[in-house]
Amino acid sequence: MSRFWSDTARRLTPYVPGEQPKLDKLVKLNTNESPYGPSPRAVEAIQHAASEDLRRYPDPNSDALKAALARYHSVSPAQVFVGNGSDEVLAHAFIALLKHAAPLRFPDITYSFYPVYCGLFDIAHTPIPLTDSLEIDPADYAAGGPIIFPNPNAPTGRLLAIDAVEAILAANPDVPVVVDEAYIDYGGESAIPLVDRHPNLLVTRTFSKSRALAGLRVGYAIGSAELIEGLERVKNSFNSYPLGRPAQAGAIASVEDEPHFRDSCARVIATREWLDQALTALGFEVLPSAANFVFARHPAHAGATLAAALREQAIIVRHFKLPRIDDYLRITVGTDEECAALVDALKALV
Ligand SMILES: *Cc1c(COP(=O)(O)O)cnc(C)c1O
């Protein structure tokens, strides 16, 4: 604490991202990055954008990127919002759409940035417990305040079927519902086709996971034009130029390289299935995952102990010291070699 801090800065409990250790030869399975590189066309476009033109501000509205995303998702450009990573898109959604008189609702176990934004923006919120099997039950989301949840959920990896997502929307037509689809490309069914029927639905996406561009910082949202306009109002009251020229160029090239995208998602899904079976064979309980990570616990070994022991062998996974999930490890699906190294290390530990 410093006497120079505002009351706001004093009150905050900031989000703690997974560590990015500066060590070589690390098996880094803690932050759900892609084990494969981005589209070579994206890298080329970013390099091409690193030119004299950088003296000029970028397009404040990222119109070319919005047009590419609109084409990709078969919506109109007025239904697309882009931002500096989906975390920024989410922050704007919290201010523009999720701060109402009735408390915001989200699962008790979910992306831990949500309560952080509530603290920053002073948003009342109510956690809705996941079921005993760590699933979202649509019956728990009867009419009430606004709603946000990831699908698949993080850090459980569990997918909510599209008809269950629609049941939540149908029960809540008068409040915004945000579905954070950071991991939808690993086998889930997107809610984007529902935006035309549900003007209260906002779907957020990121280039950080399935498009392997975490370092570029690009995220977006798809929804009705009225929801998007609300986000634009906040964005233009905060930062007119959230995406630089290289980010806009790289993101467009990524969207236009469908074969690379499909191939890397398919490889991650195949390795995830292998990892699930290998961990199950070691006695782990592995939740069914539709993401690029698995969430698993061992009946005889504490999560914190396993995470610390792996760390000594330069294998980094994520452990959350939180009620209900303290026993679990969240393990990012890496390359086949990285996952084999993890399983070998666990074999010796359990
Ligand atoms: C990774 C992640 C994000 C943030 O992605 P960025 O675009 O890198 O900011 C958002 N939501 C969930 C659930 C995530 O896991």
Question: What confidence tens digit (pLDDT) does each residue in 79-129 have?
Answer: 999 999 999 999 999 999 999 999 999 999 999 999 999 999 999 999 999
What's the average model confidence in pLDDT over 274-298? 98
Cβ neighbours for 332, distance < 8 A, ≥ 6 positions apart: 28, 29, 30, 31, 32, 33, 292, 293, 317, 318
Give, using CA atoms, the residue closest to atom 11 of ligand 1.
182
Q: Kindly provide the residue ranges of all beta strands, DSSP E only, lying in 219-288, ordered along the sequence.
A: 219-223, 285-286
Going by their DSSP bridges, the two strands 219-223 and 201-206 should be labelled as: antiparallel
Give residue 209's pLDDT.
98
Distances (CA, A) of 202 to 26, 116, 191, 259: 37, 20, 9, 27
**90 CA → ligand 1 middle, Å:** 9
Instruction: Report yes or no: 56 and 246 within 8 Å, Cβ to Cβ.
Output: no
Q: Is residue 239 over pLDDT 80?
A: yes
CA dihedral 139, 140, 141, 146 (to 10 degrees): -170
Instruction: Give CA–CA dist 46/251, Å, rounded.
Output: 9
Cβ neighbours for 160, distance < 8 A, ≥ 6 positions apart: 135, 136, 138, 149, 151, 152, 153
Q: Please state the atom number of ligand 1 nearest to the C-alpha of residue 219.
A: 7
What's the average model confidence in pLDDT over 270-298? 98
| Percent of the chain surpassing pLDDT 90 | 96
Q: Is 185 in the pocket of ligand 1 (CB under 6 A)?
A: no
Question: What confidence tens digit (pLDDT) does each residue in 148-187 have?
Answer: 999 999 999 999 999 999 999 999 999 999 999 999 999 9
CA dihedral 22, 26, 31, 37 (to 10 degrees): 90
- Which of 34, 84, 106, 111 to mutate for ligand 1's pocket (most ligand atoms within 8 Å of CB)? 111
Q: Is 153 in the pocket of ligand 1 (CB under 6 A)?
A: no
Q: Is 150 in the pocket of ligand 1 (CB under 6 A)?
A: yes
| Percent of the chain surpassing pLDDT 70 | 100
Question: What confidence tens digit (pLDDT) does each residue in 17-59 have?
Answer: 877 887 778 999 999 999 999 999 999 999 999 999 999 999 9
Q: Is 219 in the pocket of ligand 1 (CB under 6 A)?
A: yes
Q: Is 181 in the pocket of ligand 1 (CB under 6 A)?
A: no
Q: Which of 10, 24, 6, 8 is nearest to 314 (CA)?
A: 24
Give residue 24's pLDDT.
74
Q: Left, alpha or beta for 308 (phi > 0: left; psi -120 to 50: alpha)?
A: alpha
Q: Is 83 in the pocket of ligand 1 (CB under 6 A)?
A: no
Q: Please state the atom number of ligand 1 nearest to the C-alpha of residue 207.
A: 7
What's the average model confidence in pLDDT over 270-281? 98
**156 CA → ligand 1 middle, Å:** 14
Q: Please state the atom number of ligand 1 nearest to the C-alpha of residue 206.
A: 7
Order of strands across the sheet that contains 125-128: 80-83, 219-223, 201-206, 177-180, 147-150, 104-107, 125-128
What is the separation, in whole angstroms, between the first and last Cα of the chain? 42
What's the average model confidence in pLDDT over 302-330? 96
**272 CA → ligand 1 middle, Å:** 19
Identify the helix (H) or strand (E) that includes residue 49: helix 40-49
Q: Measured in whole angstroms, how far is the alpha carbon of residue 45 from the centre of its chain? A: 24
Q: Is 85 in the pocket of ligand 1 (CB under 6 A)?
A: yes
All structural domains of the chain, each given as residue ranges with its CATH number in brackets, are 7-37+259-349 (3.90.1150.10), 40-257 (3.40.640.10)
Cβ neighbours for 3, distance < 8 A, ≥ 6 positions apart: none
Cβ neighbours for 51, distance < 8 A, ≥ 6 positions apart: none
**236 CA → ligand 1 middle, Å:** 22
Question: What confidence tens digit (pLDDT) does each residue in 290-310 have?
Answer: 999 999 999 999 999 999 999
Eight-state DSSP code of residue 191: S
Instruction: Give CA–CA dist 82/62, Å, rounded.
Output: 7
- Which of 206, 292, 293 to mutate for ligand 1's pocket (most ligand atoms within 8 Å of CB)? 206
Q: Left, alpha or beta for 237 (phi > 0: left; psi -120 to 50: alpha)?
A: alpha
Q: Indicate the pTM of the whole model.
A: 0.97
